[in-house]
Amino acid sequence: MRLLLVADTHLPKRAKELPALVWDEVARADVVVHAGDWVDLDTFDALTAASARLIGVYGNNDGPELRQRLPEVARVTLGGVRLAVVHETGDVKGREARCEAQYPDADVLVFGHSHIPWDSVTPGGLRLLNPGSPTDRRRQPFCTYQTAEIRDGRLGNVELHELPRRR
């Protein structure tokens, strides 16, 4: 099962549209995971229409229309992997312990908010993933997204993709 992980798209404020490479990944993915801060309903509708399956949450910049359609936290089991998705996890300091305590029923937690890619495993085995942002790099050198695979009940082949800089 191929996963596409995105967050913090902030359309149309940070970019007019998702990059073509991200849409190519949407077409290849069995599941698209969006960890919040869509900002506009059009992006949600477009990803919903284009995705084989979409799992998403709302973020702090998402208004009432998105909050009516999306949960604050999503939980789903995909191919035997227990996945949780949330926008914010709080400060970097203590993140792993805090997330392990808040999501004891998850194998993987996908989050956003910081626009900073993250990939770590807590001492208890919870995998924390933040795909960064495909449209707003902030202080990062590149805009980013992640892909991963679920096979035989395990998450693997987690890859961070850097997008070419816009001109």
- What does the pLDDT read at residue 16? 86
- In angstroms, the Cα distances linking 106 to 49, 62, 76, 85, 92 are 27, 25, 9, 10, 19
CATH topology of domain 2-162: Purple Acid Phosphatase; chain A, domain 2 (3.60.21)
Distance separating alpha carbons of residues 134 and 10, to the nearest angstrom: 9
DSSP 23-73: HHHHHH-SEEEE-S---SHHHHHHHHHH-SSEEE---TT--HHHHHHS-SE
pLDDT tens-place string over residues 74-122: 999 999 999 999 999 999 999 999 999 999 999 999 999 999 999 999 9
Distance separating alpha carbons of residues 154 and 69, to the nearest angstrom: 29
Single-letter amino acid, residue 51: S
Strand, coil or helix: what is 92? coil
Residue 166 has pLDDT above 70, yes or no: no
Alpha helix (H) residue ranges in 70-163 = 95-102
Distance separating alpha carbons of residues 111 and 118, to the nearest angstrom: 9
pLDDT tens-place string over residues 112-163: 999 999 999 999 999 999 999 999 988 899 999 999 999 999 999 999 999 9
pLDDT band at 13 (very low <50, low <70, confident <90, very high): confident
Contact in structure between 83 and 110 (CB atoms under 8 Å): yes
Distance separating alpha carbons of residues 12 and 30, to the nearest angstrom: 26
